[in-house]
Structure 1
Amino acid sequence: MKASFVALVGRPSTGKSTFINQVCGEKISIVSSHPQTTRNRVKGIYNSKDGQLVFVDTPGFYQSEQRFNRHLKGLLLSTLENVDQVLYLLDVSRRPGEEERELLELLAAFKGPLIIALNKIDIVKNYRHDYLELIKDKLKQVPVYEISALTGSGVESLAGVILLTAPNGEPFYPLDYYTDQSPEVTK
């Protein structure tokens, strides 16, 4: 049996909350077109016969010196200290920016398994190639997967890959849980 805490990181509006909802099969995180809707760490729990993954949906990483953004960056950094794995979600519907470069540098220091997912791959006009070049320059040995969190394409396969690299262990939560939040929060 495998069990792992997995930080889900990326800039605002990359589809992190949509991914959490899709992989867990329940509405856990608020999905909005407004950046930085997720302001706290939200946990979504994926259970399979092989183990349990507790995804920690972090607030979007935005490069800014404003107090609020520094606070959100602090949440991200503290999350990275307390997880076993990281899933870095990139939105290929927009060009890579400074946030992606800085996050790649931060994640290069992460000691556990790191997986990158190119999200919104179903959108015809995308910058997939630009992201692959950026990743190749910064993190040569990191596996990259293509998904659409919105349609679910590739999501279950990606969860399986993450589970393969998870440490051995017993589930952290009962197997019928899909979040650690109270029901009022997820409505």
Structure 2
Amino acid sequence: MSREDIKKVPRLGGKAFEQGAAFLRIKAAKNPLDDSAVHPESYGIVEKMAKDLGKSVQDLIGNKALLQKLNLKNYCTDSVGLLTLEDIVKELEKPGLDIRQQAKVFTFNQNIKTINDLREGQLLPGIVNNITNFGCFVDVGIKESGLIHISNLSDTFVKDVNEHVHLHQQIIVKVLEVDVPRKRIQLKLHK
């Protein structure tokens, strides 16, 4: 099996293949580049690099010392720039490396089930779920969201809420006041 075989999938057009091919890994493929993030459009460049070094494509993969011998400027074209070539070499150096950041696991305080469980002074994890001109609302894991008034975002003057928090940001808040009958929670951003 190869990436080229993916083109045979019914209703998968050329554009879909072009957009997704580099995200697919074909293990134990005939072409070792099929198990890398190198896009099929760039296979020719990698093959030329290998040929210029008198090596096979397989010899290049994972061989940083060999890849450093390449002068990438020799492979620049109108359609392939130096940055693209640097990305190709990075992938060849460390094939399969996932450059995404590790996801942070987030959990609300499991002891807080309702507004009645909140106490002044508590520190809680929360997620900013709405931003307004007067502050932001924070989900602390219960039905009601708490408000961090703009004056409680910092100990100094805050002109723009967006300079301190952003939507879906994970933060720690301090409970300032709980008004159970009105279902209002006043919070302060904890540093």
Asked whether the two chains share a fold, i.e. TM above 0.5, the reply is no
Query: Normalised by the shorter chain, which TM-score bucket?
Result: under 0.3
Structure possessing the higher relative contact order (Cα contacts under 8 Å, 6 or more residues apart): 1
Give the TM-score of the pair, scaled to structure 1. 0.21
Give the TM-score of the pair, scaled to structure 2. 0.21
> Considering only CA atoms, is the larger Rg found in Structure 1 or Structure 2?
2
